[in-house]
Structure 1
Amino acid sequence: MRQRSFFKRKIFVQQSNHQVHLNKSLKAFDLTMLGVGAVVGGGIFILPGEVASKTAGPGIMISFIIAGLACCLAALCYSEFASKLPVAGSAYTYSYHVFGEGIAWILGWSLLLEYGLAVAAIASGWSSYVKSLLTGFHIEFPKVISSSFNPSNGTYFDLLAFLIVIIIGILLSIGIRESTRINNIMVLIKMAVVILFIVVGVFYVKPDNWTPFLPFGFNGVITGASLVFFAYIGFDAVSTASEEVINPQKNMPIGIISSLAICTFLYILLSAVLTGMVSYKQLVGISAPVAFALQYVNLNWVAGFLSLGAIVGMTTVILVMSYGGTRLIFAMGRDGLLPKTFAKVNEKNTPVKNTLIFAFIMGIIAGLIPLNDLAALINIGTLFAFAMVSLGIFFLRNNKELPTAGFKTPFYPVIPAISFILCVYLMINLPGLTWLSFIIWFVIGIIIYLLYGRRHSVLQNEK
């Protein structure tokens, strides 16, 4: 009887040795735009007001720095893995080579939570912004299909949220090269809008609004860092593109690190200008704080541009997170841990069936469940993945079967250790209900692995 092991590891082979693989077409600029496209979205347009008003005050600037630091350290670890293991699947694939199949499944299952729910959550926010914009043109959707399932309010399904996920799924099924061209244009537009707010808003900053700087104490800043972490989620989706990157040893680290550096810089500046224009006390209950700040100082024309930028920004997040999710499912299907149908590709080596199934399921979730109920779960799944990737660097360096060339995390072993500790610390500061939901998701994943994945695993069934 064939022996099956929870910790059985993969031996690295070049992607050309796979019967099914993806085409190499992405460069460093494409990766940077994918990263910025994934990160700068709903978080930057929605979160700063809520976190500043209830948790961190003007100290939200420090919250963004702490969350950004955690991501930057994790990004260095991701970059080393991505340059040495240029195969689709991100942290899932990395764990398969250093920890073994069981841990890889747990990481993949956690990442499905991140990518899938991020798509649904941002689609819900996208729908709210579009409906607000349409209301300005006196266009109203029937109440029944205007919002998520809530019979007491007379709403049953958010049709716009469903449709944007489906449209993005169709775009991705055409091909990644075509998708990245559209993504690059949208990313440049939303960056221009964010920079416009910073440049115009800085002239309306009143330093008195930054006093007191830490109204909720430093504990509020730390809790704020755990919450604004949602605004950084997505840069790791860049690593799922490894198999489709030209010269991944060079371009993967450039794409991951540069996209995160750009986003961190923009977040800190935006939160500083926002809390300087308007007192944090006035941001309570404001769902679009950046637009509110502009209207507060009578810059309505800029607020109009900002709404458009928010819609474009969230569209790119849906695109990149959908891309990350479909490539993760592709890798798990190719390994046999999910049904093989998820690893089938067309003549352009695009996993069309996988992409459309993912879009339909996430579209339904986006249509039924509101953003607030989705966002909390995303953070913990991502932080768990970041922590495991950081820990994995220690195993990667000791694994003689893997390539030694490529990017190396600087100041080893200090940076991987700090990254791991910081991610775990941020996880501890998340609400208890989030932990309970994550544990339930974790248990479901283990059951699926034991009943299906372990039996159908390509690695476990090798002769």
Structure 2
Amino acid sequence: MSNEQRIGARVLRRKPIDQLTHPGSELKRTMGVGHLTMISIGATLGTGIFVVLGQAVPKAGPGIVVSFVLAGITALFSALSYAELAGLIPASGSSYSYTYATLGEIVAWVCGWCLVLEYGVSVAAVAVGWGQYINELLHLVTGLRIPDVLSQPPSAGGIINIPAVLVVALSMLVLLGGSKGSARTNTILVWIKVGSLLMFCAVAFTAFKAGNLQPLFPLGLAGMSAGAATLFFSYIGFDAASTAGEEAKNPQRDLPRAIILSLVIITALYCAVALAAVGAMPWQSFEGSEAALSRVLTENVSGAIWPILLSIGAVVATASVVLTVLYGQTRILYAMSRDGLVPSIFARLSRNGVPVVNTLVVGSFIAVLAAFVSLGSLADVTSIGTLFAFGLVNIAVIILRRTEPDRQRSFRVPFSPVTPLVGLAFCVYMMFSLGLPSWIAFIVWMVIGFVIYFGYSVRKARLAVPSDQ
């Protein structure tokens, strides 16, 4: 075999599903369908609705409700594919593991590298949003604000975002206590933030004006699509339950249920909140609004208590997202490290089954990112990496239906291969709705990933080359 053939065999090698299904994991199985659903809701329901809404409404106008539906449909098609693969391959690596079994090692690396972008950068973005609502809450209660030099990145006139660093550090401490305790903490936080959003809807609808919804698409369908692309950030995280495949008590049954159930709950909440928000306040007034929902209540509803309660809910909501998405990031790196694609230190577990060094390294990197980068830049870059990974998952479903048709599946995507193909088409459409800066950042990230893969991972991978087996 020539050197070129050997390299080709290495990058295209696929990991058998049986190895992924029975990885010999030391992680502890402690989570049921309730915990798994709460992980996905906890990872999704947060900054997207509390902060990014203020950036998306000026792009779409009152049509933002339709933008949420479009983004939700895009997520739903991919969620169906995730549900099938999560039940078939209940491994910690999520879509990284799925593509390793179907598309080969180099595509799995690309997918894993996108997940590092999705989870790592989105945690930083959420942490930035948490700092904004902490500032809003402080202002509502005391009339004071944290100075910009200590609460904003350099691009926004500050020096360092200390609140964003603080919430990442607190989440690291919770995760170091073990997955069972983290799941319980997250469940409590999820109930609080769902209650906060329901409260917002009830209060904001008292100020609802039908005229605020006319015209529905003042910036055209292109504006609605641009709003949907930005809002897709709000759906990132529904796949987080799939990263707990090796810590679920009954993953084949519970993972598909958790993924679909969480997405249905999230989409219904988002549409209700968006309708209440644009109905209570003219869409032009959302321009430049970071704590958008708090502003809706402050300027359009009587009673000073409501914005305070909402800000408390937003602080809890975004903290929950930081916790659960940081959890997902550590589990993906755990799976990649166990395969040899990243250094083995990321797979070392403590006595209580926690990847301590992994959590500390990832958390420290994210804290630095959150301290010095603005929310808008982080959100769009996160979306493009996520859409790429989702597209690969839809392809993986089609391939496994052909290569493993007789393997038992606890959930099957209906109308396959049409449904996965539609999911793939939606992902591609949404990617091209994002701006050039997001594409440049994505391409640079991919180049860095390929340098690491060919410089380190392709030689260190533990999976044998096919010809050697």
2:128, 2:374 within 8 Å by CA — same for their partners in 1?
Answer: yes
Quick one: which of 77, 84, 90 aligns to 2:88?
Answer: 84
> CA RMSD, aligned part only?
1.8
Change (3 A) 1:58 1:400: same
**Hey, what does 1:48 align to over in structure 2?**
53
Q: Is 1:148 matched with 2:144?
A: no
User: Residues of 2 paired with 1:20 and 1:59: CA distance?
Assistant: 47
DSSP 3-state at the match of 2:416: coil
Deviation at 1:378, TM superposition (A): 0.3
Larger mean CA deviation between 336-345 and 204-213 belongs to 204-213
2:65, 2:271 within 8 Å by CA — same for their partners in 1?
Answer: yes
**Hey, what does 2:239 align to over in structure 1?**
236
2:46, 2:234 within 8 Å by CA — same for their partners in 1?
Answer: yes
2:37, 2:262 within 8 Å by CA — same for their partners in 1?
Answer: yes
User: Residues of 2 paired with 1:350 and 1:310: CA distance?
Assistant: 28
Deviation at 1:137, TM superposition (A): 2.7
Quick one: which of 295, 299, 302 aligns to 1:298?
Answer: 302
**Hey, what does 1:391 align to over in structure 2?**
395
Q: Is 1:351 matched with 2:351?
A: no
Which ranges in structure 1 are unaligned for 5 or more consecutive residues? none
User: Residues of 2 paired with 1:202 and 1:16: CA distance?
Assistant: 48
**Hey, what does 2:34 align to over in structure 1?**
29
**Hey, what does 2:200 align to over in structure 1?**
197
1:59, 1:213 within 8 Å by CA — same for their partners in 2?
Answer: yes
| Paired amino acid for 1:69 | I
DSSP 3-state at the match of 2:246: helix
| Paired amino acid for 1:192 | G
1:49, 1:280 within 8 Å by CA — same for their partners in 2?
Answer: no
2:21, 2:89 within 8 Å by CA — same for their partners in 1?
Answer: no
Quick one: which of 444, 449, 460 aligns to 1:456?
Answer: 460
| Paired amino acid for 2:142 | F
Which ranges in structure 2 are unaligned for 5 or more consecutive residues? none
1:84, 1:402 within 8 Å by CA — same for their partners in 2?
Answer: no
User: Residues of 1 paired with 2:397 and 2:225: CA distance?
Assistant: 26
Deviation at 1:6, TM superposition (A): 1.2
2:81, 2:394 within 8 Å by CA — same for their partners in 1?
Answer: yes
Change (3 A) 1:46 1:140: closer
Give 1:21-420 correspondences, 5 Å limit.
Answer: 21-52=26-57, 54-135=58-139, 136-137=141-142, 141=146, 144-149=149-154, 153=157, 155-295=158-298, 296-400=300-404, 403-420=407-424
Q: Give the TM-score of the pair, scaled to structure 1.
A: 0.95
1:274, 1:290 within 8 Å by CA — same for their partners in 2?
Answer: yes
2:229, 2:431 within 8 Å by CA — same for their partners in 1?
Answer: yes
2:41, 2:262 within 8 Å by CA — same for their partners in 1?
Answer: yes
Q: Give the TM-score of the pair, scaled to structure 2.
A: 0.94
User: Residues of 1 paired with 2:307 and 2:152: CA distance?
Assistant: 24
Structure 1 residues 394-421: Cα deviation after superposition (integer angstroms, max 9, x where no partner): 1111223983232111111221111011
Structure 1 residues 205-234: Cα deviation after superposition (integer angstroms, max 9, x where no partner): 111111111101111111111111011111
DSSP 3-state at the match of 1:398: helix
Q: Is 1:438 matched with 2:430?
A: no
Provide the identity percentage: 37
User: Residues of 2 paired with 1:112 and 1:421: CA distance?
Assistant: 23
Deviation at 1:243, TM superposition (A): 1.1
Structure 1 residues 309-335: Cα deviation after superposition (integer angstroms, max 9, x where no partner): 100000011011101100010001000
| Equivalent pairs, count | 460
Structure 1 residues 425-454: Cα deviation after superposition (integer angstroms, max 9, x where no partner): 111111011111101111110110000000
Structure 1 residues 86-127: Cα deviation after superposition (integer angstroms, max 9, x where no partner): 111111000000011000000000110010001111111111
DSSP 3-state at the match of 1:346: coil
| Paired amino acid for 2:336 | M
